[in-house]
Amino acid sequence: MRKPRATGRSHRKKASSPEGGEKCVLSSIQAKPSVIDGEEPGPDGGLRGLARHQEKVILQASVSSHHLFRDTAEVTAFRRSLLSWYDREKRDLPWRKRADNEVDLDRRAYAVWVSEVMLQQTQVATVIDYYTRWMQKWPTLQDLACASLEEVNQLWAGLGYYSRGRRLQEGARKVVEELGGYMPRTAETLQQLLPGVGRYTAGAIASIAFGQATGVVDGNVVRVLCRVRAIGADPSSTLVSQQLWSLAQQLVDPARPGDFNQAAMELGATICTPQRPLCSQCPVQTLCWARQRVEREELSVSGSLPHSPDVEECAPNTGQCQLCLPPTEPWDQALGVTNFPRKASRKPRREEYSATCVLEQPGALGGARLLLVQRPSSGLLAGLWEFPSVATELSGQGQRKALLQELQTWAGPLQTTRLQHLGEVVHIFSHIKMTYQVYGLALEGQTPVTTTLPRARWLTREEFHTAAVSTAMKKVFRVYEGQQPGTCKGFKRSQMSVSSSRKKLSPGQQVLDRFFQSHVPTDVPSLNSAAQ
């Protein structure tokens, strides 16, 4: 049997449709709906069939055929052009090599699975090193299943979205303990049986590792399809999401499904980018409605072409097409093809506040030690280690009192007068803007503290830097280090701000500080961005 060709791809964001959502039931002049949807008749036969038919009629009435691929010739041309470009231009990435060279289907699927999970919300350049170290440490599902969560969190530290690593290990254990070590072979069973595997991830594994002809939709594919078919409605809406999945299924090449899916994502990541797309280098530009509209308008402005109707004026006589640009957001000539897709409205991040203290024993046996405590096993940053912290909106003495009570829970009675406020750290999670008030307390001249509490550890500075700690805690520690005599103070001002009460700043320095504090970096990439 011919081994399906495995490929890789670039940084992406998952499609806005919820993982595990309903299969697409759009009716169009494409392939049979039953083939596209992957649906089977249910025990209630007629009733379910009637419900599906009614939904198709509603959707069909809302969508113009302008947004579809109208015939086999268009689909064939799209496949041929995209795959030819991909064969010439695809990037050399470690997960592609591993999947290409792996004969064992389960090991190949595992290699693809790891890369797919790591690449969610994360840049390719960042993932390469993590992926290489992960596969060296745990080359098989069995190896990962035997690892501890502590080891997984430690290797994942700095990659962000830590629940991904935890769910990946949970899935490996289920495959080994409940499925006999064999990965499910189809997108449907992958999504059904593996924790944390949704519609996109299941389709990617099934097409790349097992050669199943199933389409995938991530943020890059959303952008490509919206521009190619001039889909201007909100891509996060149910109707648009269903239509995008339907188009992806229609287009996927049954002879090379893995390569095709990777090519579509690669096109969105490297050519059809969110800003400043390289349309002149696009292999499917002749099939792109957005590009054709730009060209027509350029000719119209130059007088070479009389004014023509707007591309999005494609609604059927029954009413406004639900996939076109909304009347409230008409075509903006200055944006060109980047009119598509329209950005979905985003909820503002909620703001949270925490007081955290770096508690150090400079005279501890074997060298200075830092106290770290483990976070709960669920929720934000589950299972990671951090400096003792309290969630609080209090300020001044109220904040200090709450933090001291927390510190004494772990380390016993302390000399409270030595607790110093050092500054603050602002860290952006996908859905939270967290502000840490950073304190420091050195136990100089005190009897060394020992702790036997199960969720507390005293670590050396070297151990801290290799422990399973979040990027936010590393920022906190840099603030602490910057205030210690004889240590490097060259931490980034854009990430931390030292309390102005510690030193009187000149007016010019105050202006610079305000500028840098207003440009706090985030760890969240975009396509536009997503959640932890």
Helix ranges (H only) for 282-346 are 289-302
Q: How far is CA 458 from CA 366, 368, 462, 478, 519, in A?
A: 11, 9, 12, 18, 34
CA 420, distance to chain mean position in Å, is 37
Q: At what angle do helices 257-270 and 72-89 cross, to 10 degrees?
A: 70
Run of H or E including 91: none
386 is catalytic: no
Both tokens of 380, joined, read: 């934000």
Q: How far is CA 65 from CA 113, 236, 504, in A?
A: 36, 20, 67
Instruction: Give the type of residue at 128.
Output: I
| Residue 195 to residue 178: CA distance in whole angstroms | 13
The CA angle 520-338-232, to the nearest 5 degrees, is 110
What residues have CB less than 8 Å from 222, skipping those under 6 apart? Answer: 15, 16, 235, 244, 268, 341
Pairing of strands 496-498, 369-374: unpaired
The CA angle 356-362-363, to the nearest 5 degrees, is 140
| Cα-only R_g, the chain | 27
Q: Which of 102, 116, 297, 424 is catalytic?
A: 116
* Residue 434 φ/ψ, nearest 5 degrees: -105, 130
With b for 16 or more beta-carbon neighbours within 10 A and e for fewer, the 152-189 pattern comes to: bbbbbbebbbbbbbbebbbbbbebbeeeeeebbbbbbe
What residues have CB less than 8 Å from 261, skipping those under 6 apart? Answer: 7, 203, 204, 207, 208, 215, 216, 252
* Residue 305 φ/ψ, nearest 5 degrees: -145, 130
Reduced to 3 states (helix: H, G, I; strand: E, B; else coil), residue 27 is coil
Residue 388 burial (10 A CB sphere; 0-12, 13-18, 19+) = buried
Q: What is the 3-state secondary structure (H, E, C) of 349-376?
A: CEEEEEEEEEEEECCCCCCCEEEEEECC
Q: Based on DSSP, count helices (H) and strands (E) in the chain, helices before strands.
A: 19, 8
Instruction: Give the type of residue at 274.
Output: P
Contact 352, 391 (CB under 8 A): yes
Both tokens of 398, joined, read: 């109220």
User: Could you list the active site residues?
Assistant: 116
